[in-house]
Structure 1
Amino acid sequence: MSAEEQQDRVFKALSDHRRREILDLLRDEPRTTGALCEHFAGLDRCTVMQHLGVLEKAGLVLVRREGRTRWNYLNPLPIKEIHDRWISRYATGAVALLARMKRDMEGA
């Protein structure tokens, strides 16, 4: 799979608010699939599992099984790669512009 295809999967995974909420929960601590299902009481287990599948395919969630228990862990690396490619490059220019504006305003 190409880097572009992998980034497409990450963007698709991040496009749904429930998947972003799952990632927020996993940022705090690893959780079992059962615990995630309990958190999303309005969704059935199958729907939560589908969301986890999208996150796993995007590489945002890593899974470890202990017997019948499935532990889900956040993998922040794909988000960092998106940040490095798409955000930091543009933020540098914006910060430089703000610094110039500050100097110009203070000098006036």
Structure 2
Amino acid sequence: MKLISHTLVTLALYALSSSAVPATSPANALEKRAENCKITGNLARCRRSASTSATIFGEFAAGTTHSFSCWTIGSDGNIWDRTTITLESGKVNCFVSDTLVAGPCPSGLPEC
């Protein structure tokens, strides 16, 4: 009887611990759905925010492929796709105008 009780308690604790922690945290959810998309426009600028007036972090050459995590509507009313770029200070998110990115962006991406 003690063995059965101990086994049931162990199973109950395991069930509680595994259901209490989500398999994918919201912060990682977008990254798991990222899509590799090709840059179609020459020198596509990767900006701090979804705006042509935002600071430029870097540029992508036409024909290169990058991983994009989501899309948003910019201050100009156009669609912008979010990616990550590596600077000396580390990785930062930045946005590229969707007019310079080939599919599946943004149709295969979630909204930011």
TM-score (structure 2 length as normaliser): 0.24
Structure ranking higher in strand proportion: 2
Q: Which has the larger radius of gyration?
A: 2
TM-score (structure 1 length as normaliser): 0.25
